[in-house]
């Protein structure tokens, strides 16, 4: 019986508007035979490709803030390089979500 794939984990978390850290932690738990750095690099690449293809959007959820803040893809891509986005101690969480396909709405 085949296990769940990275792609399936990624897709299901986008539907839930999960944070990048939540997606990464789920990959670590469910795909146990891959190097954590390799999983992080894979996730970054998937997020960047989806953002540049305009399939996903991003928002930031900051501890203590009243509202979340939508951000542009290029800002999100830059944030993916910061250690704080990948840390449970961070007050800033970067979330990714599927964008509506207006042609099919």
**Greatest Cα pair distance in the chain:** 45
What pTM was estimated for this model as a whole? Answer: 0.88
Contact criterion met (CB below 8 Å) for 93 and 60: yes
Residue in 28, 27, 17 with CA at minimum distance from that of residue 59: 17
The region that residue 99 occupies, defined by phi over 0 for left and psi between -120 and 50 for alpha, beta otherwise, is: beta
Contact criterion met (CB below 8 Å) for 21 and 61: no
**What is the C-alpha radius of gyration for the chain, rounded to an integer number of angstroms?**
14
- pLDDT values of the chain reduced to their tens digit, one per residue, 105 residues: 358 999 999 999 999 999 999 999 999 999 988 999 999 999 999 999 999 999 999 999 988 777 889 999 999 999 999 999 999 999 999 999 999 864 443
């Amino acid at each position: 019986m085949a296990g769940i794939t990275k792609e399936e984990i990624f897709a299901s978390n986008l539907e839930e508007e999960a944070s990048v850290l939540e997606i990464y932690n789920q990959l670590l738990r469910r795909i146990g035979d891959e190097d954590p750095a390799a999983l992080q690099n894979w996730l970054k690449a998937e997020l960047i490709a989806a953002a540049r293809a305009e399939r996903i959007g991003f928002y930031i959820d900051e501890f203590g803030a009243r509202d979340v803040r939508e951000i542009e893809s290029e800002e999100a891509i830059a944030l993916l390089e910061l250690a704080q986005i990948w840390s449970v101690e961070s007050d800033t969480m970067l979330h990714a979500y599927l964008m509506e396909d207006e042609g099919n709405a």
